[in-house]
Structure 1
Amino acid sequence: MLMTPGPTAVPEPVRDAMSRELINPDVDPRFREIYDRLTGRLATVYGVDPSVPAAEGGRDVVALGGEGILGLEAAVASLVEPGTEVLCLSNGLYGEGFADFVESYGGDATLVAADHDEPLPLDALDEALTADGADFDLATMVHCETPTGTLNDVEAALDRIDAAADSEILTVVDAVSSLGGVSVPTDRIDVCLGASQKCFSAPPGLATAAVSDRAWAAMEARDPHELYANFLPFRDVSDGFPYTHLTTEVVALDEALGLLLDEGLDAVRERHAAAARRCRERGAELGLETVPSPERSSPTVTAFEVPGRAEALQERLREEYDVILATGLGDGAEDILRVGHMGHNARVERVEETMDALADVL
């Protein structure tokens, strides 16, 4: 049983959709119909009106062919050039990764960071925004830091950015492991990033984004020369896609989103919250602590502290119980064991089975 925080288990209707006859996305008009339906469904999940384009104050939703990290890099590649000043707010691996991307594209990254088990450093953010000479073009942050299971208060950070800069700073938010399981303030974000393999329970292969008109204008002014790591060619695909799209992944995500919307977003989010509560209740019964406090932990993933035992526990769970969990990343690889109760796996009965197995191997 796959209980990792992405990729998640893919339900049978999605697998069935993937087995249908292949559509050629370059010549078959049916593909454009599927893609349009997909982006409309994505807009609903993002919480924006699909009938209101970015040019009229809404958000344009796009889906690029590539795993979720492509979205993070494409956002930077589309908006950053030498001399671009970027504030990277971070309390985890992916927040720090934004700064690496910025520097790789020649931008000037100012990393405002807290320890990985701490909240976003809002006081330090205020100081950076009001420092002499501060003139940021862009700010990046992460909604759910998957390696630690932390759900960040991005709205508080956006409040401070708006207040200090009169909303002139463009914002990029990685919502890859929260979108679909948690409400995301997309209407306040210029580029809000998602991916197929997390809460949607589709296979890895698509990076999604909801893009504001301000962000499109900045991309056009920047005129990025990248092909794959570039959102701009997807702004208007009425005459075709910039490259052969990933047909099967588009069909799969469209089907997965149909299942999610049939269930209803409120019901889906409550299902995630219930699975998270039960996972942490069972963990507390076993004497396990979460990396951030339960109040700051995401409804989509729980990271338990198991100092020095993560890989051994992961191996025993896989070999003895056929339960697949994830360890931490980077410095937390040996000390954190992560349960992914997201997407199709955000069900109390799956959490119970997982925690029964974990109880036996501890």
Structure 2
Amino acid sequence: MISFYPGPSKTDENLDKYLSEAASSGILSCNHRSPSFMKLMKDCIKVIKQKLEIPSNYEVFFTSSATECWEITGQSFSKKSFLHIYNGAFGEKWFSYNSKINNAVEGLAYPIHRSISLHQLDRSGAKQKDVICLTSCETSNTTKVHQKTIRKVKNRYPNSLLFIDATSSMSGVSIDWISGDIWYASVQKCFGLPPGLAVMVCSPKAIDQADKNDFHYNSLKSIYQNTQKFQTTHTPNTLGIYLLYKSLSNKLGIKAEHEKIRKRMKNLIKQLKLLGYDFVVPTKKVQSETVIGIKCKAELLPIIKEKAKEKGITLGNGYGKWKLNSFRIANFPAHSDSDFEKLLIFLKSEDFNKKREN
């Protein structure tokens, strides 16, 4: 079964090999203060920085999930004022979650077919906010924030920290790391791994401005102090870190991965247009390169998904208000070109086309 679900999704093709190596290596029995674990963590951070081209002065941390990163960023910057910019469910959930932790939290919604408006940000008082939060790829509606837009936001408000949920983009597309202060992502999407681990990338400015007296579980202060020793604040997901190290070690650099993702999405959109499909996000500039949403009639959706399943293909559900009239297709590095050939053969199938016409 090929899973095009937008997370958890298809895993690295060598995952079974890495799992076997992890079990036989003895690393899974090592405590997280041992030299063996510290070497693994050091090696993993090194390969993450190398493959994703992260600046040497940025820190790489491990957490359990992107959702935990919501809590870390809220609790570790509790004296700051926040502005959350969002156009979809996950950005809004992050805003809602932070609102329950801190008092000085405001939200600004914008349409899915438009870029973030700097003029609208000015009117919302962004210049007075200590932290601006946005989602670089909104999995729920398959939009993205263009890297140039993120850079413009950073340049427009240089005194503010910029926090970015990159869950459906990190390790799949190139990131201009210095345009943000905290980036985070779970590994079950573009990293091609099972859930239970997340990567957080932090600038020196973010580390410096984090609450110094924050003693919450997994506060940024504690994470940073432990990472300097290549340790964690708690017993970590050692298997997840091992799999992340092995998987990234055997991957192309991020520029090559991004080019592969970009070309494949461009071809997929071209083929879908020829077949007469409409998209949840029709605007190219804000259409995600890693997840695409395809509109369909509500009565056809269960038929499409069931027929796909019969062909060994799992399609992603629509989300939110598009749940009953769309499906989503993930385009992650773990997917192969042959996976997409099989998908397109299915979408072009004669029986399916007849049902669409009816």
Q: What TM-score do the two structures reach when normalised by structure 1?
A: 0.87
Equivalent positions of 1:126-275 (< 5 A) are 126-129=122-125, 135-163=128-156, 165=157, 167-221=158-212, 223-228=213-218, 230-237=219-226, 238=229, 240-260=231-251, 263-275=252-264
Deviations 1:235-261 (A, max 9, x none): 12218421111111111111111122x
Unaligned stretches of 5+ in structure 1?
53-57
* Alpha-carbon displacement from aligned partner over 1:59-84 (angstroms, at most 9, x marks no partner): 111111x1332223322232235xx3
- The 3 A distance-change label for structure 1 pair 2 and 191 is same
> Retained in 1: the 8 A contact 2:168–2:185?
yes
Cα distance between partner residues in 2 of 1:315 and 1:156: 35
Shift of 1:190: 0.9
Find the aligned partners of 1:251 and 1:188 in 2 and give their Cα distance: 29
Residue 312 (str. 1) matches residue 308 (str. 2): no
Deviation at 1:86, TM superposition (A): 0.8
Please show how residues 13-92 of structure 1 align to structure 2 within 5 Å. 13-19=14-20, 20-21=22-23, 22-49=28-55, 52=56, 58-64=57-63, 66-81=64-79, 84-92=80-88
Q: Check the 8 A contact 2:164/2:182 in 1, yes or no.
A: yes
Cα separation, partners in 2 of 1:349 and 1:13, compared to 1, 3 Å: closer
Quick one: percent identity of the two aligned structures? 19
CA-based RMSD: 2.2
Name 1:107's counterpart in structure 2.
103
1:329-352 deviation line (CA, Å, top 9, x unaligned): 11111122111011211x332112
Aligned to 1:322: 312
1:332 alignment partner AA: W
In the alignment, the residues of structure 2 paired with residue 327 and residue 117 of structure 1 have an alpha-carbon distance, to the nearest angstrom, of 20
Where structure 2 has 5 or more consecutive residues not aligned to the other structure, the ranges are: none
Alignment match, 2:322: 332
Please tell me whether the aligned partners of residues 310 and 336 of structure 1 are also in contact (alpha carbons under 8 angstroms). Answer: no
- Partner of 2:200, secondary structure, is strand
1:358 aligns with: 347
Kept in 2, the 8 Å contact 1:91–1:119? The answer is: no
User: Which one-letter code corresponds to 1:18 in the other structure?
Assistant: L
- SS in structure 1 of the partner of residue 225 of structure 2: coil
Give the drift of 1:219. 1.7
Aligned CA distance change for structure 1 residues 302 and 318 (closer, same or farther; 3 Å):
same
CA-CA distance at 1:313 after TM superposition: 4.3
Q: In 2, Cα distance between the equivalents of 1:23 and 1:359?
A: 49
Q: Distance in 2 between matches of 1:239 and 1:316?
A: 47
Q: Is the 8 A contact 1:274 1:348 kept in 2?
A: no
Deviations 1:222-241 (A, max 9, x none): x333214x333221221842
Deviation at 1:45, TM superposition (A): 4.0
TM normalised by structure 2 equals: 0.88
Once structures 1 and 2 are overlaid, which stretch shifts more, 291-300 or 265-274? Answer: 291-300
The number of residue pairs the alignment matches comes to 342
